[in-house]
Amino acid sequence: MKVDERQIQLESIPGMGSTLLRAITTRKKKQREPKSLPLAIIVNGVRADAGKLAKYRAVCGFSRTTGLPLTYPHVMAFPLQLQMMMQPEFPFSPVGAVHLKNRIRQQRDIGIDETMDLSVRLGETVRVAKGHEVSFVTEVRIDGELVWDGLSVVLVPGGGTGGKQDKPAAKQTQYSESVSWQLAANKGREYALASGDYNPIHLYSLTARVMGFKRQIMHGMWSKSRSLAHLLPLDCDWPVSIEVAFKLPIFLPATVMLLSHSDATGSQFELRDDTGEKPHLVGEIRLGGENAAA
């Protein structure tokens, strides 16, 4: 905890539907030099809902039924991140924020009946070419032990430097495996039902067009979760980390192709379109010890 950090303690995780509606309708005055201030939102004594968890496993393809899927704590804590975006310490309007990167690290298996303490903290804000990148840090503790942490980086468009942003050189990975998945037009609605993320851009063509998209797009976190469900060994060594960068949106309906290469230390992978050319997601899974902590 930072000395000047404001903390909001909630009794329970707020409902996703009402929180999302408030976030979508929240407007803030533009600041010439926006700056994020220290803020934490905390909820203690949280347990996973068995019914929602079963739907989540089904839509993401998780076959393992013991322990929480690695990405599920992110889903549980996401309403807290939305709450944070409505607070004065977050100097931007939530509408239009784009999820760029997501990293998750888990130290051990989390039982489905374990009681968790969740916290989300507002991280640094960096001005970039297209706007501002803002970080959110989520932590899960059980009996005081840090068992899971996540980092989400979002881009708030507008007010950027306008300069040309240097892109890191792409890794030349030789993928050894591939699998394709067909996503129906209602896939976003299926994931919304399981995750609670009913952002209009994911639901119907009409609601997506209102938000500036030609058709509804698939949730980025579904792409990460589906890739993880396919690649993570059932008997994996802890700790485990998975880090992804979200690239081009998946317009539904669609066929996507997962390319990967795995060994004892983890997997490197990309999710591309059906031609294998356009990237939707690039990521890496690290297994065990220093690999996962890197």
Kindly state whether residues 122 and 91 are assigned to the same domain: yes
Q: Are residues 145 and 185 in the same domain?
A: no
147 and 41 belong to one structural domain: yes
- Same domain for 122 and 236, yes or no, is no
Tell me the pLDDT tens digit for each residue of 48-64.
Answer: 999 999 999 999 999 98
CATH code for position 44? 3.10.129.10
Give me the pLDDT at residue 35, please: 86
Question: Which residue, of 150, 166, 182, is where some domain finishes?
Answer: 166
Out of 166, 186, 218, pick the residue that ends a domain. Answer: 166
- For residue 294, pLDDT over 70 is answered with no
Does 129 lie in the same domain as 207? no
| Nearest residue to 241 via CA among 59, 105, 87, 95 | 105
* Average pLDDT in the chain: 92
- Residue 239, preceding peptide bond in cis (omega within 30° of 0): yes
Check residue 106 and give its pLDDT.
Answer: 97
Do 224 and 144 lie in one domain? The reply is no
Q: Rounded distance, CA 68 to CA 66, Å?
A: 7
pLDDT at residue 45 tops 70: yes
User: Full-prediction pTM beyond 0.85?
Assistant: yes
SS3 118: strand
Q: What domain range includes position 214?
A: 167-294
pLDDT at 176 over 90: yes
Res 9: pLDDT: 97
Distances (CA, A) of 30 to 34, 142, 158: 8, 39, 10
Task: Please state the domain count of the chain.
Answer: 2
- Tens of pLDDT, residue by residue over 202-223, are 999 999 999 889 999 999 999 9
pLDDT at 5: 93
* 92 and 160 share one domain: yes
Residue that is last in its domain, among 134, 166, 198? 166
Using pLDDT thresholds of 50, 70 and 90, give the confidence band for residue 92: very high
123 shares its domain with 191: no
Question: 229 and 159 in one domain?
Answer: no
pLDDT at 172 over 80: no
